[in-house]
Chains A and B, each alone.
Chain A
Amino acid sequence: MNGPVGIVLVSHSAGLAAGLRELLAQIGSAAVPVVAAGGSADGGIGTSYDLVAEAIDKADQGAGVAVLPDLGSSVLTTRTVLEDHPRADVAIIDAPFVEGAVAAAVTAAAGGDLHAVISAAEEARDVRKF
C-alpha cells in the first residue's frame, strides 16, 4: 500500500523552505513526507539541481510527489530535473508557495491522491487570505 503523496518545497532560501516545512508540520502534515530543497549547493541563496533531485527521491513513498517552487529559478531548476528524470507521478505545481504548500499538505495528510493534492494547491490561487 502506498503512503501519502510526498511534497517537495523548492526555494532560493534554505531558511524559507525549512521554515515552511516546520509550519506544515504544525498544521497536520506530520505523516506526510515534506522535504525542503532550499538554497544553493554551498548553502547560499539560489537553487540546486542536486538538492531538488535528492528531495524528490526522499519524498517519494510510492504515491507520487508534488513539487512546489517559490519563484523564478526554482521553477527552472525543478523543470530541468523533471526533464532529465521524467515521471508521470512527479509534478511541479503552479501555486502560491505558502498557501499552496499548506493546502497540499493538508490534502495529502487526509489521504488525497496526487491529483487531489495538485488541485488543492492550485486552488490556493483563488482563495482570498481574508
Chain B
Amino acid sequence: MSASSDTHAQTTVTLPANLHARPAGRIAQAAARFTSTIRIEHAGRAINPTGVLSVMSLGATAGSTVTISAEGPDADTAVSSLADILATAE
C-alpha cells in the first residue's frame, strides 16, 4: 500500500456553452475549496482555476474540449466537481 494519500485524477469535458464570466466565477469558487493542485487545459494552455480571470482568459467556447486534472488528497472530488460545473454550464 502506498504511504501517500495523494492521487492523480483527470477528465475531459466538451463544453455545452462558452466558458464566460458566470461559470468562470463558479469554477474559481469551487476550485478554492480543494487542497489538491488543479489545472484546466484548453488549446495548449493550462491555468490554475482558482483564478477567475485565468479561467476567463482561456477563451474556451461551446463545443471545445477542456481537460481538468488534479493532484492531491481530494483530487477525485475536485475533478468531478469542476467537471460537473463545466458540463452543466449555460
Query: What is A's interface to B at a CB cutoff of 8 Å?
Result: 23, 26-28, 99, 102-103, 106-107, 109-112, 120, 123-124, 127-130
Q: Which of B1-46 contact A (CB under 8 A)?
A: 21-22, 24-26, 28-29, 32-33
One of B26, B50, B52, B59 near A102 (C-beta < 8 A) = B52
Bound CA span A130–B57, Å: 5
Query: What is B's interface to A at a CB cutoff of 8 Å?
Result: 21-22, 24-26, 28-29, 32-33, 50-54, 56-57, 59
Bound CA span A21–B21, Å: 14
| B57 and A124 contact, CB distance less than 8 A | no
One of B22, B25, B33, B54 near A127 (C-beta < 8 A) = B54
One of A28, A111, A124 near B26 (C-beta < 8 A) = A28
Bound CA span A27–B22, Å: 5
